[in-house]
Structure 1
């Protein structure tokens, strides 16, 4: 089944690498960040994933309703800026961020 109603949403993949023995701090920091991000306009969804073979690799799958908002206002929010500053103590470096547009979505019946 093809579903087309969310094709204009922006999908953002954010890949983090935790410093050794800091995975718990990364998860806690991201959880606190996401609780604030959920209150932002144009927020749709975030899923937090941990690599099944390397728990120091953490992926956020984000969905946003407005690309311009994400790339401007969201990036300057106090909660995101605080996380960026705090993350220097538990991340191995800056995250890898990529942005995607939905071409087609397939779901089971």
Structure 2
């Protein structure tokens, strides 16, 4: 797909986050709903370039946030917002373990 322009295609300095969350057995739908509730307000935050929620095909207990931020300051501000803090408080009872957060910088 050459010639396709995306928001991340123009800026190699964006901070990319991949956050993996695993739901406790039987809590998948509740975790999905909690995660979905944070998506739209986050997309309106300053410095948020992309914010997407995914569910693993082979293991529906696992969810991933794929995020692109203008920089670490924008991510830090996001983590202090009421909607994100509410998500964290809600998700703590639904998660089978800690959230695995990977901070990435694009190479090519």
TM-score normalized by the length of structure 2: 0.86
Q: Following the alignment from structure 1 to structure 2, what is the Cα–Cα distance between the partners of residues 75 and 47? A: 16
Are positions 1:75 and 2:79 aligned together? yes
CA RMSD, aligned part only?
1.6
Runs (4 or more) in structure 1 with deviation over 4 Å come to 1-4
Does the alignment pair 1:18 with 2:23?
yes
Given that residues 16 and 94 in structure 1 are in contact (C-alpha distance below 8 angstroms), is that contact kept between their aligned partners in structure 2? yes
How far apart are residue 47 of structure 1 and its match? 2.2
What whole-Å deviation, never above 9, does each CA across 1:19-74 have from its counterpart, x for those lacking one?
A: 1111111111111011111111001112222122111011111111122221x211
Specify the alignment match of 2:63 in structure 1: 58
How far apart are the structure 1 equivalents of 2:82 and 2:94? 19
Greater RCO (Cα-Cα under 8 Å, separation 6 or more): 1
Instruction: Find the counterpart in structure 1 of residue 105 from structure 2.
Output: 101
Answer yes or no: is the 8 Å Cα contact 2:39–2:53 preserved in 1: no
Q: Where does structure 1 lack aligned partners over 5 or more consecutive residues?
A: 105-109
Cα separation, 2, equivalents of 1:43 and 1:68: 11
Q: Normalising to structure 1: TM-score of the pair?
A: 0.85
